[in-house]
Chains A and B, each alone.
Chain A
Amino acid sequence: MEAYQETNFFATLFIIFISAGLTNNILLARFLGMCSCLGVSKKVDTSVGLGAAVTFVTATTAALNYLVYYYILVPLGLEFLKLITFIVVIAAFTQFIEMVIERYSIKLYNSLGIFLPLITVNCAILGISLFMLNKPYGFWESFAYGLGGGFGWFLAIALIGGIREKINEKFLPEGLAGPGITLIIIGIMSLAFVGFSGMIKI
């Protein structure tokens, strides 16, 4: 604790980033953002694509929502509207990102396919924006928290994608193929991540 308070600004940001990503992994320790993870984690490259998109959206919306919350909602006394406001901001922003990806990287757009709209309803993104309000963060800390949280999700889905690529589903009992085995993998992985939890307090 002592050491943490004395470190300089960038070190603080770095610690927030690492802890949000590893010790409090949003997917493996908090189980948020499951549906798109189950859907898209079949291959590493689509996982990485979606993971990168989610990281980007999480970080930017955390920053955006920070500004919206502290500069619009709080002054107006409308803190109780944060849930719906955040949802709308995230939805609009992902819509925007979807357009940009469609226009400039048709390849990514095609490989994310019908899962792109899933970013909109990815609860990990909303989760990060809401959790960040529980902490006494400033703007940059919130951004780092969002970036870290998104990165954690990215890391988790990329790892799961890697494992799933190596699994030959032909050898699985029928009911276990797809989401079944994925949930089991996630369960085992989360045991490891639970081990990290509490290592850094943020």
Chain B
Amino acid sequence: MSSANAHFGGLRFMRLGMLALAGGMLFGVIGGFQFLFPEFLQELLFTKTRPLHVSLVVSSIFLISIGGIYFYLPRQCNLPLFSSKSVDLHYWVFLLTGLAIIVCYLSGRFGGREYFEFPPILSLPIFLTWLLFGINYFNTARQDKEPWPVYYWMWGTGIVFFFITYAESHLYLIPYFRETMVREIMVQWKSYGALTGSWNMLVYGTGLYLATKISGCDKYARSKMAFGLYFLGLFNLMFGWAHHTYLVPSDPWIRTFAYLVSMTELYIFGKIIWDWRSSLTDWQKNRHCNAYRFLIAADIWIFVNLALALIISIPALNLFTHGTHITVAHAMGSTIGINMMILLASVFYVIREELPNEIHAKCSKQLRTGFWLSNVSLAIFFVALLLAGIGKGTYDGSSFQEMMLGIRPFLVTFTISGVTLMAGLWIILWHGFRLMGKIMAPVGVAEPQPA
């Protein structure tokens, strides 16, 4: 049934994303325990749990963003999808490739590149899914005769740059790249930096879309300011990546240039402080809305994480924070605090729109519990990682085991708060998953039944 698919294909992606996130966190927790007890679950070595964790949570970022785009375009922007069959194909290829990747990890078959640790042949179907998505997206959005609001640009940019940077991350397969250590590692991180930038385009585009819809005012999404920030983001995506590799001996100008580019984000930092008061009044107005609550949490986490990001982007400080858990604090702090909070806002926005009367008192109370449990846990999780990182940053290179023993209390705190963080998010995901199922269900029931 193509019209149903046009509406609900997106929701299937979002539900799959919630499942991936719920499972991915479990592997993170197992990894946390393996840091503390190396013998823990020897059958599932850290070589498997780390990629299972990272690939699953990163895929959930993609899935929930993609699902939102497939849902919002036809349902709310009056732009029927160019092809709803292609949405189905996209879904199945994604799902099957994902399962194949999980099987490879579990059976210990690796490509051995950080973050994408599966055999590179499995990247071919991934390229196919992005091709399907891109063709569908641009042909759909093209129908809009008005000048595009900024979030259409962001989504489109995210798709195009995913393609470019994901291709770039495979250049190591060519001897010219892999046989020069510095080139190999620089190009790898050039692509990863921009890859994060491109998924951020999808996520921030979604956040802006939601803010526009919740406030009911489309003006901002077409303003000069919004486009200015979009270009700043694109500029950073293209040229900011070398803050990952300040200590890799490349040509120094690459690094100095990245330093300058990263510091342009100071502008955003200042703007957040400047806008603080008006955000506060909005908060008063909308605090009963679940989606809005997640957006506010994201706002606060953007502030905290951007502060840390700017600090670790200064080469003199990066010298000490690089290669420590401070990087992990930044990495998980921003993926959870910023990306996930925005995407959960998207999930609950869809639910509010489609099932306006469905969030009953009981479920709403549980959602609030989940919200606070996950955010407070995330704060502890974040601080524990920072402290562990400071411990490692002062490591003099002698006994690695002793250093790890020294930061053990922080790693224990990290793991325990990881468990409660997971519990909080599980509560939220359970309701999100369940309620989205309800949105999809009535259509099946309403189909003509044989007598």
Q: Are A and B physically bound partners? A: no
Interface residues of B (CB under 8 A from A): none
Interface residues of A (CB under 8 A from B): none
